[in-house]
Amino acid sequence: MKKLVQSITALLSLLAALLVYRSVEWDWPAYLAIAPVEIDSAGDLQQVARHLAGAVQIRTVSTQQRAGGSNQDFRAFQRYLRETYPTLHRQVHLEKINEQGLLYHWRGSRPDLDPILLLGHYDTVPVIAGTESQWTYPPFSGAIAEGFVWGRGTLDDKGMIIAQMEVVEQLLREGHQPARSIYLAYGHDEEVGGRQGALKISQYLQRQGLRFSLVLDEGSIIAAAGVIAGLDRPVALLGHAEKGYLSVKVTAHATGGHSSMPPAHTAAGQVAAAVTQLENRQRPAKLEHSDDFFTGILPFLPTGQRLVLSNSWLFKPLLVSYLQKQPALNASLRTTTAVTMLSASPKENVLPIEASAVVNYRILPGESVATTLDHARRAVDGTGTTVKALGSGTEPSPVAPIDGFGYRLLQRAARESWHDDTLLVTPRLVLVTTDTRHYHPLSDEVFRFMPNALNLDEVATIHGSNERLSLKNLELMLRFYRRLIINADRQTVAG
Ligand SMILES: [Zn+2]
């Protein structure tokens, strides 16, 4: 007996030693060696802010009813870019796709190098009627005050377009000639699906047989220090993959009649049972995307978290049960199931002849629209309901490599443009869908990242009230795109 206790104790201390060893024995991420770069010609920030203010004042609003808003506003925006960036519009080729999609091609001197493609959209969501008074400055004023440019579209994402145009204009004036071609593509209907803008631009580029070494769109940001629990540093979250999308309708039919003589289960009851089963039979959790997420930040997490994360082979059940309690983390673990709409009888004393529920899935990369639909059908088994897909859904994106040209280029530009060396960089699964879904045929290295350091309050203003871009972030974008364009000319980007 004593021997057994001894050997168990010995085993436990060996295990403890192994766990600690694995949590301290990491390689410091190599990107930490990339230092900030002095940039003295970032341009006149106040003037750039005024340029953005002018762009915000043009109401390029997309609504569901009218994709692309009024043509007049969109034409005014195009004219505004032409007048504000004259050198660019003289020297860079502009092709209008489907009249309002803007495709700029800054020709490189080395046609043998695959070009890079920067995406954006110049439409915005509307301001919900009745919420105007919640804005500190009117939503289309472009007011420059309190260190911000205020207005709809500043963050999403006219600020990004203005920063890119500004940098190209400036580099052209300095006589810069890129080796690698640079394309800028700005759609006019991203907020209502991008089928007239991004999709048409992508098809146009595909017809030319082009392949890109990097495609970059919005969709992820820099989490300001403190936003990620346990981390007091800012983290550039490079969106290397994005979830897919599918809604299904679950339906039950019955004969109906008066509610004074009901069957044991009405159509509504059947749908309720199906909904309960769907919620109870979630898609399984997979750790690979959260593992990716921790690659760039692991050494900086508190010891307890690091111990668990670096020993996920042992702690997987514990880790999953911890992560899945928080909706934002759970969403990176699995295909999520959200029951969103219910309908049944139109009257309280009438039995429904049809009842239905709509369930919205966000599909994890590696799974598909077909596997999700199949799962839903099996999950409602025995309830007497049927499951039908609403529309064709969107497949999850491929996962871009995090050791390739594109990731390294973004990582380097982010580190070089941040004001000190505290910025961490890590890959991240994007939970919403972006215009990039139209661009996958053009590149294996499609990323979503806008170099804005935002806290949660600022994130909430996107599509909400008081949307605003800080001058600090505007300056950061100018620095970032400048470093990106200059570094893109290295054939391989180290670090
Ligand atoms: Zn957007």
Q: Note the pLDDT of residue 277.
A: 97
Instruction: Say if residue 142's pLDDT is above 50.
Output: yes
Query: CA–CA separation, 294 vs 246, rounded Å?
Result: 28
Nearest to 342 by CA among 329, 333, 352: 352
Q: 283-308: per-residue pLDDT in tens?
A: 999 988 888 898 899 889 888 888 88
The pLDDT of residue 150: 98
Mean pLDDT over residues 160-187, rounded?
97
Over residues 199-211, the mean pLDDT reads 97
Q: What are 350-366's pLDDT values in tens digits?
A: 999 999 999 999 999 99
Output the CA 23–ligand 1 centroid distance in Å. 39
Interval 438-478: pLDDT, tens: 999 999 999 999 999 999 889 989 999 999 999 999 999 99
Burial (Cβ within 10 Å: 0-12, 13-18, ≥19) of residue 328: exposed
Scanning the structure block, which residue is given the tokens 């443009």? 417
Predicted pLDDT of residue 7 = 73
Distance of CA 361 to the CA centre of its chain: 17
pLDDT of residue 306: 84
Q: Give the model's pLDDT for residue 25.
A: 61
pLDDT at position 264: 93
Cβ–Cβ < 8 Å for 66, 74:
no
Mean pLDDT of the region 134-156: 96
What are the residue numbers of the active site? 123, 190
Q: Is 247 exposed, middle or buried (0-12, 13-18, 19+ CB in 10 A)?
A: middle
The H or E element that residue 436 is part of is: none
Residues 6+ apart with CB under 8 A from 327: none
Determine the distance from the C-alpha atom of residue 493 to the mean position of all C-alpha atoms in its chain, rounded to a whole number. 24
For residues 211 and 432, give the distance between their C-alpha atoms in angstroms, rounded to a whole number: 25
Parts of the chain belonging to CATH 3.30.70.360:
243-394
CA of 125 to the centre of ligand 1 (A): 9
Return the H-helix or E-strand segment holding 413: helix 405-417
Element (H, E) at 452: none
Higher-confidence residue: 62 or 118?
118
As a whole number, the mean pLDDT across the chain is 92
Alpha-carbon span 239 to 217, nearest angstrom: 9
Phi-psi region of 366 (alpha: psi -120 to 50; beta: other; left: phi over 0): left
Least confident segment among 136-145, 315-324, 478-487:
315-324
pLDDT higher than threshold 90 for residue 153: yes
The alpha carbon dihedral of 96, 102, 107, 113 has a sign of negative
CATH 3.40.630.10 boundaries in the chain: 45-240+398-487
pLDDT tops 80 at residue 229: yes
Distance 309 CA to ligand 1 centre (A): 33
* pTM for this prediction: 0.90
Q: How far is the CA of 121 from the centre of ligand 1 (A)?
A: 7
Say what the pLDDT of residue 325 is: 87
Q: What is the pLDDT of residue 6?
A: 76
CA dihedral in degrees (291, 293, 296, 302; nearest 10)?
A: -80
Answer yes or no: is pLDDT of 69 > 60: no
The letter for the amino acid at 254 is A
How much is the average pLDDT of 48-55?
A: 98
CA of 157 to the centre of ligand 1 (A): 5
Instruction: Say if residue 495's pLDDT is above 50.
Output: no
Residues surrounding ion ligand 1 at CB below 5 Å = 156-157
Phi, psi of 112 (to 5 degrees): -75, -15
Give residue 354 CA to ligand 1 midpoint distance, Å: 38
**8-49 pLDDT, tens per residue?**
776 667 666 666 666 566 678 889 999 999 876 556 999 999
* pLDDT at 66 exceeding the cut of 60: no
Q: Kindly report the CATH class assigned to 45-240+398-487.
A: alpha beta
Q: Is the model more confident about 436 or about 322?
A: 436
Average pLDDT over residues 255-262: 92
Sheet holding 336-343, edge to edge: 336-343, 354-363, 244-253, 386-394
Centre of ligand 1 from the C-alpha of residue 293, in Å: 23
CATH code assigned to 243-394: 3.30.70.360
